[in-house]
Homo-oligomer: A and B are copies of this chain.
Amino acid sequence: MATMTAAQQRAQAKVEYDAFVAACPSRKLLDRISDKWVTLILAALGSDSAHQPGADCAGGPRVMRYSELQRLLAGVSQKMLTQTLRSLERDGLVSRTVVPTVPVTVSYELTDLGLSLYEMMRGIKAWAETHMDDVLANRETYDTRVA
C-alpha cells in the first residue's frame, strides 16, 4: 500500500500547499488586518477618529479606555472587542494597562510596532482612495453589461 491514488496525491498536495501558505508572513499579516475590528481599533488608537459617522474626535487621545473604545466603535460586541484587544496585546501591537482603582480602570494604547502597522495601513487607505472608484465603476459596468 505504498502507492497512493490520484485523489490521495491531490489531497496530500493540498495539505502541503495549505501549510506553505499558512507559513507565509504576508498571509499572516493579511489574516490579522483583514479583521474588521482590528482595523477599526487601530484607527481609533491611531487618532484617526474619522471613523465615526457624525462627530469628530480630532486629536483625541491615543490612549483609550475599554468603555471609550466600545462607545466609539458603535456596534462592537464585548466579546469581539475583548477578543480583538487581547490578540492585539498578544502580538505586541497594543499595550494594556490596568490601574487598580475601584472599580478597575483599563487603558489601551498603540505600541511602536502597532503604530508602525497603523502607518502601513495608511498606505492601504491611500491606494483605496485612489483606485477604489475605478473598481466600483468597473463593477457597475460589468453588471449592466450582463443585465
Contact A75 B14 (CB under 8 A): yes
By beta carbon, the residue of chain B nearest A90 is B142
The listed residue (B14, B40, B53, B138) touching A113 by CB distance below 8 A is B138
- Judged by a CB distance under 8 angstroms, whether A74 is at the interface is yes
Q: Could you say how many copies of this chain the assembly holds?
A: 2
Other than the given A21-B40, A28-B132, A124-B124, 11 more pairs (CB < 8 A) read A13-B75, A14-B74, A16-B53, A21-B36, A26-B128, A28-B135, A30-B33, A30-B34, A92-B137, A113-B138, A120-B123
Q: How many residues of A contact B (CB 8 A)?
A: 57
**Residue from A17, A39, A121, A141 having most chain B Cβ neighbours under 10 A:** A17
Q: Is A18 an interface residue (CB 8 A)?
A: yes
Which chain A residues have a beta carbon within 8 Å of chain B's beta carbons?
10, 13-18, 20-21, 24-34, 36, 39-40, 51-53, 73-75, 89-93, 113, 116-117, 120-121, 123-125, 127-129, 131-139, 141-143
